[in-house]
Amino acid sequence: MYAAERQQQILRLATEQGRVEVPALAADFGVTPETVRRDLKALARAGLLRRVHGGAIPAGALDFEPDLSEREAIAVGQKERIARAAVEELPEHGSVIIDAGSTTAAVAAVLPLEARLTVLTHALPVAARLADHPSAELHLVGGRVRTRTRAAVDDWALRTYREITADVVLVAANGFGVEAGLTTPDLAEAAVKRAMVAAARRVVLLADSSKAGQRHFAKFGDLSQVDLLITDEDLSDEQAAAIEAAGTEVRRT
C-alpha cells in the first residue's frame, strides 16, 4: 500500500472512531510505528488531523478533552521526569500554585517530604496527594468541580487567585505554541488558569511535547507570559528555538 492510500485510510478511521492510536495503526497496516508517526505528521501538516499523545484526532475536534484517569496512564515516565524537574524550580519556604492536570499531579507525587512550602491548588488529585504531606501547608481552592478534570472552577476559585500572590505557578496546558499561545478546551478552566498565571511572580509551564503546536478552543495566555517551559526530549530543536526566541526558557528532560 502506498503512503497516500494508507493516509486516506488513517483519516477515515480517525473520522469514524474519533481517535487513532499509533500501535494499533502499525499493527493494522503492517508497518512500523515510526512510519505511522510520519503519516500522522503529514496529515497534521495538511490540517486534516491533530496530533495528540500516542495518536491523532480529527482536526475539528477542538473540544476533545480526555478524562484525567486516561491522561494519567499516558507517558508516565515523561511526566515523572517533567515533575522532578519542576520540583527543582520551587523556592525553599516559598509559595506555589499547582494547576490541575496529570503532569502537575505527578509533581505532588514526587514532592520531597522535607519540602517546606505553602501550596495552593484547585485540583482535587493534587490536594489528595498532599493532604498528608508532613511539611507542606496545603490550601484547597474551592468552586464547582469539573468531573472530567477534578478541578474547581468558576467564581470561588477566581476570587481566591485574584486575592493572592505566589512565588511560582506550575501551570498545565492542552496546547501551546508561539502563535496559538496557551490553550485548553474549556472556558471555565481557561479563566482559572488565566487568574493563576496573573497571581504568580514566576510562571512555569509543564507540558509534554505532544502538546506543542496544538490549539484548543479557549486561550488563557501567551507564551511570552511563561518564564520556563519544562517538557520532554521529543520537542524538536526547531520548536525549542522558536519558543526561546519568543522569550521563554526551554528545558527538555
- C-alpha cell belonging to residue 252: 527538555
Residue-wise pLDDT for 154-213, tens only, equals 999 999 999 999 999 999 999 999 999 999 999 999 999 999 999 999 999 999 998 998
Beta strands, E only, the chain: 20-21, 49-52, 55-58, 95-98, 118-121, 137-140, 144-146, 151-153, 166-172, 175-177, 181-184, 200-206, 218-221, 228-231, 249-252
CATH class of 69-252: alpha beta
Mean of pLDDT over the chain: 91
Q: Are strands 218-221 and 181-184 parallel, antiparallel or unpaired?
A: antiparallel
pTM, rounded to two decimals: 0.74
Closest CA to 87 of 112, 105, 123: 112
Q: Which CA distances in Å does 208 have to 79, 93, 231?
A: 7, 28, 5
Name the residue ranges covered by the structural domains of the chain: 3-58, 69-252
User: Is 3.30.413.10 the CATH number for 3-58?
Assistant: no
| 199 or 147, higher pLDDT | 199
